[in-house]
Each structure stands twice: as C-alpha cells, then as structure tokens.
Amino acid sequence: MNHRERVLSALNHKEPDRVPIDLWGSASRLHTELYYKIVDYLGYESYGDTVRPHTTTAYVDYRISDEIDADFRHIAKGKLRNFQPHFDDYGNLIDEWGVGHKKVGDYWAVTYHPLAHATIQDIDTYKWPVAEDPGRIEGIEEQAKNWYKNTDYSITTTTAVSGLFMELGQYLRGTDKFFMDLYIDQNFSHKLIAELTDKLIEIYVYYLTPISKYIDWVEFTEDYGTQDRPFISKELFRKFFKKPHVRLFNAIKEIAPNTKIFFHSCGSIRELIPDFIDMGIDILNSLQPRAKGMDSYELKKEFGSELIFHGGIDIQEGICGSVEKAINEAKRRIDAFAPGGGYIFSPSNHFQPDTPIENFFAIYETAINYRKYRIHK
C-alpha cells in the first residue's frame, strides 16, 4: 500500500498493511526545544518552515516525516495580510482576536483577556477578526493540489483557529469569568458563543473552500477534559456547546461533504463522546490514556464502530523513560486500537521537551515494524 491508500483504508475501518502514522498535525507536533535537539541529532544544517510563530510548536519539517515514513502532509493557514501580531505597552503579544500572550518559561500563556470587563452590548461592537483575509489562504490551494497530484500522501488541514468556543471564550473573557457566566450570566454566554460560532464558520468556510477536494480531514481542537473529569457537566455542554458544534460541522460538510471531521480534546472526556459522535465527529484525538475513563481497550470496544481513533501514545509517562518502555507503549496502543482498522498512530499531544530523542524514533520504528495487526498473529 502507498501512504494515501493506507490512510484511506484505516478511515474506512479496514486493516491496512500497517497502522498509518502521523506527525505535524494540530496535536502531533514537536515542542520547539525538542525540535531543535532532533535537528541537531540528524545533522541538518537548517530549520524547517515556521508555521506557528510565537507558539511552543513553531516548526513543521517534513524531512523528519520522511525519516519516520509518516503518511501525511498537512495544510497550514497562511500569514494574515490585514493584521500583524504586535506587542502592547505591557509586553503582551496581541493576536487577531485581541488576546494577549507572553512566554513564561518554555511555554506561551494567555495574559490579557480583552472581554474581561465587557457587557453583552460590547460583543456587538467588538473588533472581530476579518475572516476573508487573503493571506489566510495564500498558497494553500497550490500546495494541496501539488501534494495531491505529485505525491501519494494523505492530505489534511490543520486548524484555521487554535481552539473553538470553549477555548476562545476563555481567552477573551478569562477562564474564571467564562465559567461563571455559564451559571450567573447565561445571556452573555449564549451571545458570546453565538458570535464566536458565526465567526468560526466564516473563517473555516473561507479557509477550506479552495482545498476541500484535496483533503481527507479537517482538524479542530477544543479541550473539554481535565485529568479526572470534564471541565463541565454533560448538561452544560448540551446547553451551551453542542448546537454550535453542529452548526460549524454542518457548514463544513456543505462545502466538503467527503471530508471527515477530526476533533482533538485532552483529558477525561469519555462521558461526552456519545455527544461528540452525535455532533458529527469522525476522528477523535487525543485519547489521553492516563486520564480517568480513557482506557484504550475500553474506548475501542465501546466506540470503535463509530469513530476513527487518532493518537493515544502516552506522553505523560509512557515515552519518557527507557527505550524499552517507549516501545512497549507503542505496542500497547497498536494492540488496543488497531484491530479492525480505524486507527492512526500518533502522540496524545505534542511531543514535549522531556521526550528522549531515541524514544521518539523508537516508537515510530515500532509502528512501522510491528506491521501485522495483532489479530492476525
């Protein structure tokens, strides 16, 4: 099988020759510090493309994809023409949503919430991003067409926006106020989430229209889980967030009916998965195995006929020790998720600086060489 055939087989819940493997997706990049180490280790004399400046995962480098024989190429949004990130007087880097960021240690943190003191009327007059900024889509149609016609990789698109209603709402409002609003100022919450939904639909439709015929899935990220429970109850999720997701995903399906919906959420989200399926999610990541209720074998048994699983490799402990431990972690996730197809091998989130370089390569080598699905042995 070639790369694209392998991926399409897995997406159709059929067993390919080996599990497809992914790198450089919206939740499967390298922390920049680890990336620098791997570049040095491989003896490269230059760095790859900076696709996410001012983040902890700034680079994409398909030379490393070729080293591990990854099956994907990922379209990334272009650089805006009508807005440039800039620093305010307090050292906050302001993005197109008006949200401020600062680097704290090895990570970027949200440090300014522009709607922290807003009234419901302020939502209507707020300066929202310009969806149809030509820089957002500059070069992506040509890139997708070239990859589709001249390579055998599966082509997907990474997120057009980092986060959706839940995360953007916290960035804009502040985490404490955003969650309190869900209880004590519900009109504000509904208004803000509706405005975010409208804007996200505009951005994603504009972003996907020129490339929809080339891509196998479109990626969304939105963290609904903590380590031991969801951030909010199922009742609050259904009251505030489920319908906006349906609106967004339906808008995507109108312009890209054959494109699958990829959804990343960290943490303990098992009790929300039936709602995720009902919303139209096809591919679920991150499958964080150390979170409560996220046992890989149980997820496969309960939801394997309705979802494609992506990720699952334990970056909290599973790949941070010895090479042998990392190899066993890779085998464990393949054994759990691979039978019957419907699994893409990938980390449960971005590879962090504490990942040993040897372990990074070992888990991907294991995915290649652990070729036959266990049910065939």
Q: For residue 263, what are the β-bridge partners? A: 220, 284
Q: CA 287, CA 106: separation in Å to the nearest integer? A: 24
Question: 294 by DSSP, 3-state: which?
Answer: coil
Which of 130, 260, 137, 134 is CA-nearest to residue 207? 137
Give the β-pairing of 217-221 and 100-104.
Answer: unpaired
Q: CA 278, CA 364: separation in Å to the nearest integer? A: 33
Q: For residue 344, what are the β-bridge partners? A: 310
Q: How many CB atoms lie within 10 A of CB 298?
A: 12
CATH of domain 3-376: 3.20.20.210
Asked if residue 73 lies in contact with residue 147, where contact means CB atoms within 8 angstroms, the answer is yes
Which of 137, 81, 65, 25 is CA-nearest to residue 361? 65
Q: Write down the pLDDT at residue 375.
A: 46
What does the pLDDT look like over 162-217, one tens digit per residue?
999 999 999 999 999 999 999 999 999 999 999 999 999 999 999 999 999 999 99
Q: Write down the pLDDT at residue 377.
A: 44
Q: Which residues of the chain have pLDDT under 70?
A: 371-377
What does the pLDDT look like over 83-96, one tens digit per residue?
999 999 999 999 99
Q: What is the DSSP letter of 241?
A: I
What does the pLDDT look like over 362-375, one tens digit per residue?
999 999 999 655 54
Q: Write down the pLDDT at residue 373.
A: 55
Asked if residue 281 lies in contact with residue 307, where contact means CB atoms within 8 angstroms, the answer is yes
